Amino acid sequence: MDDQTILELIRTGKNDLALNALYRNFPAIRKLVRSRGGSTRDAEDIFQEALIILIHKLKKDFQLSSKLSTYLYGVCRLLWNEQLRKRRLQVSFDPVTWNDGSLDTLSKGELSADEEADMHTYLQYESRVRLAEQALNELKDRCLELLLVFYHGQLSIKEIAAKMGYRSESSTKNQKYKCLEAARTRLKELQHQTQIL
Amino acid sequence: MRPELELMERIEQYLSGELSPADKTAFESQLAVDASLREAVKLQKDIRFGLERASLRGAIHRAKQHFYRRIWYRWGGLGLGVVVALVAIFLSTHHDRRFTVVPGMPAATHGEIYTIDCRHDTLLRTAHGAMINIPRGSIDASGANTVRIEIKEAYTIAAMLRFGLLTQSDGHPLSSGGMIDIRPADGSSAKIIRSINVALPTLRVEEKMQRFKGVMDDKGKINWIDPHPLADSFTQKAVAYGKSIFEANCRSCHSLRSSVTGPALAYVGQRRSEEWLYDFIRNNNKVLVSGDCYANYIYNVYNKTVMNTFPDLNHTDIRCLIDYITSESQLIDSNQVPNYTRELDSCLRYKRLASALEKNRDALIRANGPRTQVIRHDDTGAIITDTVVVYASPASVTPIEHPSLYYQFTVESFGWYNVDALLKDLPGVLPSKLLVQMTPEYAAEVNVFLVLPGRKIFTEGGFLKDSKTEFGFFTEDGQIPLPQSEQAYVFATGEYHGKPVFAVCSFITTQQQAINLQPAPMSKEQITETISHLDLNHLAIRVADSRNAVRIRAIDTSLAKIAPLKPQHCDCDCGMGAQKAAGDTAVAGYMN
């Protein structure tokens, strides 16, 4: 599958097919990470972050200056270098915190100046998303599932009610907003805590 | 909905662009002046980002699984099924100290002795399946070419106790997948000076498993220290992948520990072969249709619940799935998991014995002859066979022949005639209609006879056309030429549920009659007594035990004895047609 097809798939929301194709780059990333002291698990984590970054950018009509594989390799190399630095400093891995300082490692050649600037905004956005993700993960599984099903938007409310086993459409909707309220309350707390820190 | 929830719904509609232009303008103007609304919108927007991310992570996870599936498919031939992991290593360099027994433990037994040539690389496979790779130069034998080493392996709690091994790390208990102790034998002074590789077999693989080093203290107690993560092994991945298959495909109907919609799956790898599981998981219908006993048995036990087919799972998927189940099974007491092979074996054994017994029983019943035997003698005393009824329009009734089980009736007549005697133009004989009615359960088990003692007429009846409860004696519509106003009898003989049954009705002939006979179980003596009161003009009716009654009863007892072998919730009937009945010898034990 060529890059153009993959881009088209992502723009039309067919993430699953696109990701299957993108995952073919993983052996190269694994080799990279393992040759620099990481495990396969590390490689998987790094690659996941890189894919998230890529998809986020592509959704925003971001123009690539290189091949997708080169871009992914560059991002992974950057993330892993950062990760190694963190480990030397005995800090546990947290991708949210790698925006504090050493963005200088970005200019390693694979990324253009525009891409670097983009990375900056991305990292800010990323910390917001991480917090929201954390709030969502602290919800009950059923709540998160319900919100995800709604978010996905492929099922009608009637189908959702049947799938999740709610009695009526109105109680499904009521439940959805209760879950959303819980997530919102928790996110607010988390944001407050981060500001204090 | 509460007002707060209503507001949230409105924000959601705004964020997903579902508001009408007018509503949108109204909402935005409110947004401009209301700070708390702005904050709420921002929060909900963030939540939407979070949901988008969570859904993306899900998609990446699926892509990862897809990727590994593809890779494993390609490497499928490499023997992923072998569950081998490095679990706990105890490398002893304290060769000068003997392996002392922990107080209260049984004496440590000796391990196995191997002789190693130090000049070459050596690969040992031990009695219990560990693989030890000793590269050249890793043992310093003070110049000697060969060295004897002693290896102790412990993979079960029993073995650990026997060798007096403890599983403690700085006072904290460890859960162990296995331990190995390698030392020079005979107290020699050889030393392990370079690392040797050890692979231990274990049935259980866990992500958190680590390699420990054993250090002995002054009292001979071992402390396991220096935990080291296991290298990324294929096995771990196989098990993790197997788990994902299980969660995605099996979890909704199966649990490992207990029966849910389908049977508990713990230890399924020990109960069924991999090929069987492969066929069954991919298309269980095909296996069921093939008459596979185990499959049909399970199917019956679970109320004929249909299992989904999974034609997309390949060999590697299923092997990983089995590896995962085998690994998880180690945490479950195998006695708590229903083992259907055991029940099925019992079922098959029952079926084999029962079918042999039933075969014998059928043969004995056939040899018994008819349930009611009719013997006719002519006036000179010679036995005659029935004269054939030629005249038939509509068709004449057909007597039914029942096999005799435990009892046999004998009706003996001297110089009596069949009904065809009535067809001669005798004076006073008129076309008549005679029916005998009976409840269906008895009608199916008896023979019915008409007796006209004054005319020496004795004939057997049969069912009327399309009836299972009404008997006639000449044609299928109940017609029969009868002399009028004469003494007559109808009687029924047979057996029902192991008891002889008999009924008789005395009547005076007319042109139109329907007689209700009600047979009832009676003892042989009661039947003889009843018959003795009838004026039958020397027609003899006797009842006795059938020829093979004793042997048939013995078989019945045997069948009752083996009944407990038959599991309760299954009729054991699965493709049994092909099962050969065992010979009589196998049955003899149960008959005596």
Write the DSSP assignment of B351-406 as a string of letters. Answer: HHHHHHHHHHHHHHHHHH-BSEEEEEE-TTS-EEPPPP----SSPBP-PPPPBPSS
Query: How many other β-carbons are positioned within 10 Å of the β-carbon of residue B297?
Result: 23
More confident residue, A64 or B259: B259
Nearest CB to A19 within list B48, B49, B60 = B60
Q: State yes or no: pLDDT of B71 exceeds 50.
A: yes
Report yes or no: B338 and B263 within 8 Å, Cβ to Cβ: yes
More confident residue, B574 or A119: A119
Q: Which residues contact B28 (CB under 8 A, 6 or more apart)?
A: none
Cα–Cα dist B222/B217, whole Å: 6
What is chain A's mean pLDDT, rounded?
Answer: 78
Cα–Cα dist B14/B27, whole Å: 8
Label residue B470 by pLDDT band (50, 70, 90).
very high
Q: State yes or no: pLDDT of B91 exceeds 60.
A: no
Q: State yes or no: pLDDT of B436 exceeds 90.
A: yes
pLDDT at B380: 64
B303: left (phi over 0), alpha (psi -120 to 50) or beta: left
Weakest-pLDDT range from A96-110, B223-237, B274-288: A96-110
pLDDT at B281: 92
Label residue B246 by pLDDT band (50, 70, 90).
very high
Mean pLDDT of B406-434: 74
Mutation target vs A (from B1, B42, B60; most A CBs, 10 A cutoff):
B60
How close are the terminal C-alpha atoms of chain A, in Å? 46
* Mean pLDDT comparison of B22-36, B100-114, B224-238, B396-410, highest-scoring range: B22-36
Burial of B322 from C-beta contacts in 10 A (0-12 / 13-18 / 19+): buried
Q: State yes or no: pLDDT of B379 exceeds 70.
A: no
CA of B353 to nearest chain A CA: how many angstroms apart? 50
Label residue B430 by pLDDT band (50, 70, 90).
confident
Q: What is the per-residue pLDDT across A126-183, written as a single tens digit (0 to 9) for each? A: 788 888 988 998 888 888 888 888 887 777 888 888 877 788 888 888 889 999 999 9
The encoded tokens of residue B568 equal 């309760």
Hey, are the CB atoms on A180 and B4 less than 8 Å from each other?
Answer: no
Weakest-pLDDT range from A158-172, B41-55, B367-381, B433-447: B367-381
Is residue B121 within 8 angstroms of chain A, CB to CB? no
Nearest CB to A129 within list B40, B50, B55 = B50
Q: State yes or no: pLDDT of B570 exceeds 70.
A: no
Mean pLDDT of A39-55: 88
Q: What is the per-residue pLDDT across B205-225, written as a single tens digit (0 to 9) for each? A: 666 677 777 776 666 666 777
More confident residue, B447 or B586: B447
Q: State yes or no: pLDDT of B589 exceeds 80.
A: no
Cα–Cα dist B229/B63, whole Å: 27
Which residues make beta-bridge pairs with B96? none
pLDDT at B84: 29
Q: Which residues contact B335 (CB under 8 A, 6 or more apart)?
A: none
Hey, are the CB atoms on B8 and A177 less than 8 Å from each other?
Answer: yes
Weakest-pLDDT range from B83-92, B304-313, B316-325: B83-92
CA of B518 to nearest chain A CA: how many angstroms apart? 60
Q: What is the per-residue pLDDT across A96-120, written as a single tens digit (0 to 9) for each? A: 444 444 434 443 445 566 666 666 6
Q: State yes or no: pLDDT of B127 exceeds 70.
A: yes
Mutation target vs B (from A41, A147, A185; most B CBs, 10 A cutoff):
A147
Q: Which residues contact B239 (CB under 8 A, 6 or more apart)?
A: B205, B320, B323, B324, B327
Residues of B within 8 A of A15 (CB-CB) are: 56, 59
Is residue B392 within 8 angstroms of chain A, CB to CB? no
pLDDT at B201: 67
pLDDT at A61: 66
Mean pLDDT of B439-454: 88
More confident residue, B201 or B553: B553
Total residue count of chain B as it appears in this document? 592
Report yes or no: A183 and A142 within 8 Å, Cβ to Cβ: no
Q: State yes or no: pLDDT of B129 exceeds 80.
A: no
Is residue B425 within 8 angstroms of chain A, CB to CB? no
pLDDT at B437: 92
Using DSSP, state whether B131 is helix, strand or coil.
strand
Hey, are the CB atoms on B67 and A20 less than 8 Å from each other?
Answer: yes
pLDDT at B76: 32
Hey, are the CB atoms on A48 and B57 less than 8 Å from each other?
Answer: yes
Weakest-pLDDT range from A190-194, B200-204, B210-214: B200-204
Label residue B327 by pLDDT band (50, 70, 90).
confident
Q: What is the pTM of this model?
A: 0.40
Residues of B within 8 A of A137 (CB-CB) are: 54
